[in-house]
A and B are shown apart, each in its own frame.
Chain A
Amino acid sequence: MAVNMKITKINEKQVLRYIGYKNTTPDAEILKKMEACEKRLLETASQKYVYKIFDLAIKDNFEKPNSKLKEDFKIPTTNSIEISGSNLLLTGNSIVKHLRGCSRAILFAATLSASVDKLLRLLQISDITDAFITDAMASTLIEQVCDEAELEIKSQLELETQEQYYTWRYSPGYGDLPLSIQQSFLNTIDAQRQIGLCSTSSDVLTPRKSVTAIIGISNSPLEKSQRSYNQDGTNCHQSEINKCNTCNLRNSCAYSQIIKA
């Protein structure tokens, strides 16, 4: 179902990374602009998400886990996963690898809504500097909404069963999971009716500042490349590195986290 959310502070460090300040503090002028941009964006954005939980129809498609082998050698014997009770088929080696060991998955979508698109269009005419900063802030904010939503969903699920393990959020377009499943993905969770989210004929999400993602659920612990937390359950930087590792642009991207790892 659709849930509204109200994040009230945008991660400044992340915004600075996106607008090109690496480890430098911007001057007072830019900081002042950032403050105004943040306020306006938070007033404008209507943060919401929707999710549904599905069983994964993976028959005996994997080689038997063999602890002696390194994870890379556990190659799946299929390259697609069915989302039970829907018409969605997740294809590609990367998603199969990502969801191995998972019996269920959370299909999830979040958006800041069309009002933010309008704000960005307005700012691109009235003040391109503000537009640039606000765009970066909106990208940051939607990730924060996803992080928060993920926590909420997990806590809902944990009321039901203890001891579950989750993969990090994997989106259409990552690795070799095609972007072209976007529409079908949205239909599966009724995203248009629930949060007003659609995709264009070239599979771009509209409203623009939106995310679709899959989180695998497993009853047993997951591999390092699949999860976003440490063995002891504390959060770590791993999911960022994992995301960058699956990215086709990992060698040329200015924002890559791999170097830092």
Chain B
Amino acid sequence: MKIKNKLTELLNNNEFVFLDGAMGTMLQNSGVEIPQIPEELNITNPRLIIDIQKKYLMAGSNIIYSNTFGANRYKAEASKYPLADLIKAAIYNADLARQEYMVWKGTLSYQLPLIAQSIGPIGKLLEPTGTLPFEDAYEIFKEQILAGKDADIIAIETMTDLYEMKAAILAAKENSDKPVICTMSFEDNMRTFTGCCVSSMAITLEALGADAIGLNCSLGPKEMFPIIEELSNWTNLPIIIKPNAGLPDPITGGYSITPKEFTEYMVELIPLGVKILGGCCGTNPEFIKELTNTFKSKTHITKTVEIPSAICTPEKTVIIDEPRIIGERINPTGKKLLKEALKNNDLSYILSQAISQIKDGAEILDVNVGMPEIDETKMMVKCIKAIQGITNVPLQIDSNDPAVLEAALRIYNGKPIVNSVNGKDKSLSTILPLVKKYGASVVGLTLDEDGIPTTCEKRVEIADYMLNRALAIGIPKRDLYIDCLTLTVSAEQKAAMDTLKAVSIVKNELGLKTVLGVSNISFGLPNRPLINHNFLTMALTMGLDLPIMNPGNADMVDSVFCYKLLAAMDIDSKNYIQKYKDVVISEGNSRDSLASSGSSLTSSGNGLASAGNTNGLTSNGIMNASASAGNIPETTSTKDSSSDINALFFAIENGLTSECRRLTGILLEQKEPMEIINDILIPVLDKAGTNFESGSIFLPQLILIANTSQTAFDVIKLKLATNDMVPISKGKIILATVKGDIHDIGKNITKVLLENYGYTVIDLGKDVEPQLILETAIEQQVRLVGLSALMTTTLKSMEETIRLIRENNLNTEIMVGGAVLTANYAKKIGADYYVKDAKESTDIAKQIFK
């Protein structure tokens, strides 16, 4: 605590705090040969390091960074010195520099400079782009922090991945009580290399408890101006700026600006509220001297901003300044296919649910995977990682189990919502500390030990109590969202208006954001959608910010769009017009031809990817009047089934997904699921396969046909699940990209093809341990294993996997594929089959599962 006070003392007065300048640049210019691991100099040439740090102190630095930027398990792997020794020596050197400086200064009463342990990026990318798991990143940082216990401050710097920064902050907070100051490196497009934006950085780091935040490296002070300006709108923490000496020269690598110019640009940043200043690459003690001299006559300006209620992922901040839809579909309650998917570890189904909700208009997704047969913690962590791997929409973590919440909060990238806490003391004292520690927002349910109150007043009272409890442990008001609880109107008719009244008071008098699960209102009554969307509109008018709902329900999404238009939130009606410009109103005044959602699940408008507009459907699923879906043979349910069969054949062959879905639905009324698969789906695929082999169609067409056929399969699966029938499976097949290899598109194409033939594919993903493949094969009694490798260097893992399976004498055959393989090599490493493409794998499967 002593040190925290020392830093706090520096931060609380009206003066600026000065960091040091570059270490690397100084080393390079020292003329000494720099070892591959520069931290070894801490032991081999301490004098060099001490002198550099002393120079910075003499130039006016209040805080010096230890020479430990790359001192982590990976980067210092090849060192002959133990990691802890490199770090300890660095801090010891900094301390010596400090002592020598104090002697030079000659006055003992002078404030002692502080030593910050510098912690840079690990040097390996975290999952999902890299292969380093978040949990491993945490352990790596923990090791550094424990070794650096003699430092005064922890300075995490030059980060470009918010996730890696989070791992480091957690490691710092859980393994020390030192202040943590955090800087990230941005490009001039206002994002880091991994796409993190300034607002997401600010709200996430502040929520995680950083003591000061800012920028270092990659740009000069001039280029940093707009980024610092943005940052200052999102935080009241002290802002750090540690820029390079301008931009480097492409050929010489030298930096472009002088200490004087550097300082002039830094002066311009004063009005933005910068507090802690230093230099990064290309700077030296001259820069720091010029900086401290010039700033002597300047005063720090404290800028206070009001920070809005907001949650985020690295790429996207969602401000709760107007109604935002929370998609409720990832919740197994009452959803058979989702339950099935959770039981089978089938993440792709869950991911497709995420994508379709975003496409339909969800801006936040609720994730609940609680069901009896599964390990909820494991599944929650897996789902959140997978969803965050493909989307940039913030999540609402939904569980009754605090352990599940904590596990999820740890690995969430950004700032999520926790669903939920309530007015019971036990809930408040368990959940709020988690929310505080991991920096989340939280939904507060207005119920307590006495249950759900019948009156509006009591609900408001509970909301108020929860607010005070949240404030007491340091959760800001903006991060509590109150759920006034929707009761079923058929059971408690008067309660609906009570709920709405409470929403209004909580919103307007307590000044809190509100959230409400909407659909529950209509339970037990006919024509539920009618009630739901009217209740939603009423709630929005009363001040509802976050409706939790099914965005697949177009009427309800329409209500939200329409409300935003009428409430003048949708400026110039832009979003409304964009969404509805193609709607055709027929004479009967009802909207025509609302096709079910389009074939492409590509999300739109979230900066990730625009909607792939296949087969004439607009991205919101409304049939576009001008675009025809090709020559679809006319079919209605009154015609005989043979024309439907032909039409389905045609639809699959031509990639018409919604038509395919519709026709399968019709055919299911007349035929057994297995009949449809054997008589239509498989013959289409067989024909496509033959055409592919003969060269009359090409791989993209084959994949497209398989992809379309999959939508027919989905309809069949849904029917089976709804009727509690046994799912179709012609046999189980494991697919995996072997250990060390991360090329998986070929494997994924193979998966789609095999699934369309009715096989159950257990997809173990990429970079898969041989042991896991073996265990799964044993546990699930799998007769066919498909392995993929794309690099000559990873063929070894393939061989190892095959050896392991053989050693255990399983009744399992192995097929292998991938660009580097040949039939001969496959034989050599003991595989049963070599498949040159995805199509061949279906031939092998047919042979095995006769």
Q: Range of interface residues on chain B?
A: 35 or more
From B123, B700, B792, A30 is in contact (CB under 8 Å) with: B700
- How far, in whole Å, are A207 and B125 apart by their CA atoms in the complex? 8
Contact, CB under 8 Å: B793 / A192: no
- How far, in whole Å, are A82 and B599 apart by their CA atoms in the complex? 55
In the complex formed, the residue of B with least CB distance to A208 is B742
Residue from B128, B250, B608, B744 whose CB has the most chain A CB atoms within 10 Å:
B250
From B194, B707, B793, B794, A129 is in contact (CB under 8 Å) with: B707
B520 in the interface (beta carbon within 8 A): no
Q: List 6 A-B contacts (CB under 8 A).
A: A33-B614, A114-B129, A118-B129, A132-B700, A156-B251, A179-B791
Contact, CB under 8 Å: B612 / A127: yes
Contact, CB under 8 Å: B129 / A207: yes
From A30, A120, A179, A208, B793 is in contact (CB under 8 Å) with: A179
Query: Which of B298-306, B348-356, B369-377, B489-497 touches A?
Result: B348-356
- How far, in whole Å, are A20 and B700 apart by their CA atoms in the complex? 8
Contact, CB under 8 Å: A37 / B36: no
B234 to chain A, nearest CB (A): 22
A195 in the interface (beta carbon within 8 A): yes
User: Chain A residues near B742 (CB, 8 Å)?
Assistant: 200, 204, 206, 208
A52 in the interface (beta carbon within 8 A): yes
Residue from A115, A135, A201 whose CB has the most chain B CB atoms within 10 Å:
A115
Contact, CB under 8 Å: A196 / B822: no
Count of interface residues, chain A, beta-carbon cutoff 8 Å? 70
B283 in the interface (beta carbon within 8 A): no
- How far, in whole Å, are A33 and B704 apart by their CA atoms in the complex? 10
User: Chain A residues near B189 (CB, 8 Å)?
Assistant: 46
A55 in the interface (beta carbon within 8 A): no
Q: Contacts A46-B193, A122-B355, A132-B700 given; 10 further ones with Cβ under 8 A?
A: A21-B698, A26-B700, A36-B613, A87-B36, A114-B129, A117-B129, A122-B608, A125-B390, A200-B124, A204-B791
- How far, in whole Å, are A259 and B352 apart by their CA atoms in the complex? 43
A114-B195, A206-B131 known; A39-B610 Cβ under 8 A:
yes
B96 in the interface (beta carbon within 8 A): no
B52 in the interface (beta carbon within 8 A): no
B488 in the interface (beta carbon within 8 A): no
Contact, CB under 8 Å: B355 / A128: no
Nearest 9 A-B pairs (CB), nearest first? A196-B193, A202-B740, A126-B601, A87-B36, A20-B699, A122-B390, A129-B704, A1-B248, A114-B129
Instruction: Report the tally of A-B residue pairs with Cβ distances under 8 A.
Output: 188
- How far, in whole Å, are A252 and B247 apart by their CA atoms in the complex? 47
B749 in the interface (beta carbon within 8 A): yes
From B160, B599, B745, A124 is in contact (CB under 8 Å) with: B745
B53 in the interface (beta carbon within 8 A): no
Interface readout for B330-349 with A: 1 if CB under 8 Å, 0 if not? 00000000000000000010
User: Chain B residues near A206 (CB, 8 Å)?
Assistant: 125, 129-131, 742
Contact, CB under 8 Å: A30 / B602: no
Interface readout for A184-198 with B: 1 if CB under 8 Å, 0 if not? 100100001101101
In the complex formed, the residue of A with least CB distance to B359 is A126
* Interface residues of chain B: helix, strand, loop or mixed (majority): loop
User: Chain A residues near B745 (CB, 8 Å)?
Assistant: 120, 124, 131-132, 135
B819 in the interface (beta carbon within 8 A): yes
In the complex formed, the residue of A with least CB distance to B347 is A125
Contact, CB under 8 Å: A19 / B601: no
A196-B194, A198-B124 known; A128-B185 Cβ under 8 A:
no
A39-B610, A125-B348 known; A156-B704 Cβ under 8 A:
no
A123 in the interface (beta carbon within 8 A): yes
- How far, in whole Å, are A201 and B793 apart by their CA atoms in the complex? 12
* Interface residues of chain A: helix, strand, loop or mixed (majority): helix
In the complex formed, the residue of A with least CB distance to B124 is A198
In the complex formed, the residue of A with least CB distance to B601 is A126
User: Chain B residues near A125 (CB, 8 Å)?
Assistant: 348, 351-352, 355, 390, 601
A152 to chain B, nearest CB (A): 9
B95 in the interface (beta carbon within 8 A): no
User: Chain B residues near A202 (CB, 8 Å)?
Assistant: 740-741, 791, 793-794
B233 in the interface (beta carbon within 8 A): no
User: Chain A residues near B793 (CB, 8 Å)?
Assistant: 173, 179, 202-203
From B193, B195, B603, B749, A132 is in contact (CB under 8 Å) with: B749
From A126, A173, A199, B600 is in contact (CB under 8 Å) with: A126
In the complex formed, the residue of A with least CB distance to B250 is A1
For chain B residues 774-792, which have a beta carbon within 8 Å of chain A?
791-792
B160 to chain A, nearest CB (A): 6
Residue from A37, A184, A195, A207 whose CB has the most chain B CB atoms within 10 Å:
A207
A232 in the interface (beta carbon within 8 A): no
- How far, in whole Å, are A200 and B193 apart by their CA atoms in the complex? 17
- How far, in whole Å, are A253 and B248 apart by their CA atoms in the complex? 42
A60 in the interface (beta carbon within 8 A): no
B431 to chain A, nearest CB (A): 31
- How far, in whole Å, are A39 and B745 apart by their CA atoms in the complex? 20
Contact, CB under 8 Å: A37 / B612: yes
Contact, CB under 8 Å: A19 / B700: yes
A44 in the interface (beta carbon within 8 A): yes
User: Chain A residues near B195 (CB, 8 Å)?
Assistant: 113-115, 118
B12 in the interface (beta carbon within 8 A): no
A20 to chain B, nearest CB (A): 4
For chain A residues 202-221, which have a beta carbon within 8 Å of chain B?
202-204, 206-208
For chain A residues 1-39, which have a beta carbon within 8 Å of chain B?
1, 3, 19-21, 24, 26-27, 29-30, 32-33, 36-37, 39
Interface readout for B593-621 with A: 1 if CB under 8 Å, 0 if not? 00000011111000011101110000000
Contact, CB under 8 Å: A192 / B741: no
User: Chain B residues near A156 (CB, 8 Å)?
Assistant: 250-251
- How far, in whole Å, are A33 and B612 apart by their CA atoms in the complex? 8
From A3, A113, A193, B185 is in contact (CB under 8 Å) with: A193
Contact, CB under 8 Å: B822 / A252: yes
From A24, A122, A157, B609 is in contact (CB under 8 Å) with: A122
- How far, in whole Å, are A2 and B550 apart by their CA atoms in the complex? 45
A237 in the interface (beta carbon within 8 A): no
- How far, in whole Å, are A179 and B609 apart by their CA atoms in the complex? 33
A143 in the interface (beta carbon within 8 A): no
A249 in the interface (beta carbon within 8 A): yes
Contact, CB under 8 Å: B391 / A122: yes
User: Chain A residues near B699 (CB, 8 Å)?
Assistant: 19-20, 132
A199 to chain B, nearest CB (A): 8
B703 in the interface (beta carbon within 8 A): yes
Contact, CB under 8 Å: A121 / B389: yes
User: Chain B residues near A36 (CB, 8 Å)?
Assistant: 610, 612-613
Contact, CB under 8 Å: B612 / A130: yes
From A26, A37, A253, B698 is in contact (CB under 8 Å) with: A26
Interface readout for B635-654 with A: 1 if CB under 8 Å, 0 if not? 00000000000000000001
B278 in the interface (beta carbon within 8 A): no
A40 in the interface (beta carbon within 8 A): yes
Contact, CB under 8 Å: A52 / B125: no
Contact, CB under 8 Å: A113 / B698: no
- How far, in whole Å, are A196 and B125 apart by their CA atoms in the complex? 9
- How far, in whole Å, are A129 and B791 apart by their CA atoms in the complex? 23
A119 in the interface (beta carbon within 8 A): yes
In the complex formed, the residue of B with least CB distance to A51 is B250
A133 in the interface (beta carbon within 8 A): yes
Contact, CB under 8 Å: B251 / A122: no
Contact, CB under 8 Å: B609 / A204: no
- How far, in whole Å, are A129 and B218 apart by their CA atoms in the complex? 38
Residue from A20, A27, A125, A248 whose CB has the most chain B CB atoms within 10 Å:
A125
Contact, CB under 8 Å: A118 / B250: no
User: Chain B residues near A200 (CB, 8 Å)?
Assistant: 124-125, 130-131, 740, 742
A90 in the interface (beta carbon within 8 A): no
Residue from A37, A87, A193 whose CB has the most chain B CB atoms within 10 Å:
A193
